[in-house]
Structure 1
Amino acid sequence: MLYLATVSSAAVIEARGADASVNVEVCTGPVGTGCVDIPVGSDDCVNLNGGFVFLNKEISTAVIPDGLVCTFFESFGCTSQQGGGDDVVLTAGTWDFFSVPGTSQPSVDFNDLTSSFSCSAI
């Protein structure tokens, strides 16, 4: 007999520790258009430079696995300016960046603004 088990992304990160990673899918258009799976470790900052430079200021959608929360930043280094408004915090699901929950407003257009992001287990 073959048994299949499913494990949440958060459980994988916690079980494997700091070396664990899961993938966040980011796309330059709707899901399925210009998409890349990016491995993320808990609380690691992913800068969209180097091999990811083509995604800098180009992300329009993201698919975040269950058990994760990800913050997308306008600046490199996963930092926000004082006063906020230059980042968005998203939980598991598929997100269209034209309208996402903002930190300073109920809904913001964050399309083509991301330069870095960081995810952690919930």
Structure 2
Amino acid sequence: MEIQLPALVNAGAYLFHPSGENVFYVQLTENIVYYAAQFDFSATPTTLPTAGGTWARLASGVYSSGGTGLPTTTRVPRLIIDKATFGKVVGLTAGTYPSASATVSSAQLSNTIPQIHLTSFVVI
């Protein structure tokens, strides 16, 4: 199960894949092997990808030409957990993940037991 973070949608921090899907560079999934939530951080491109057809940016937002645009150097997005209630849901203590600025994709498993249930509802 993949969970889309509304904050990324609202910020325009994604690109349009030619298939019509939104492509995010941070994803939250469940990892049933480790009974954990898992954040996957992918390096953002410096130019629009070409694989699969013509990719597109939003008219406004983080990656738009009117916003900050695509980064000039590949970077991995970082997640700041500053609310204990959100951290409890995804199983991460307060902090920044990954802890240092990075250019290589990485993953972060929960460091506490996540409190995600089918009835959980969190607005980010």
* TM-score in terms of structure 1 length: 0.30
Q: Which has the higher contact order (CA 8 A, sep 6+)?
A: 1
Which structure carries more strand by proportion?
Answer: 1
* TM-score in terms of structure 2 length: 0.30
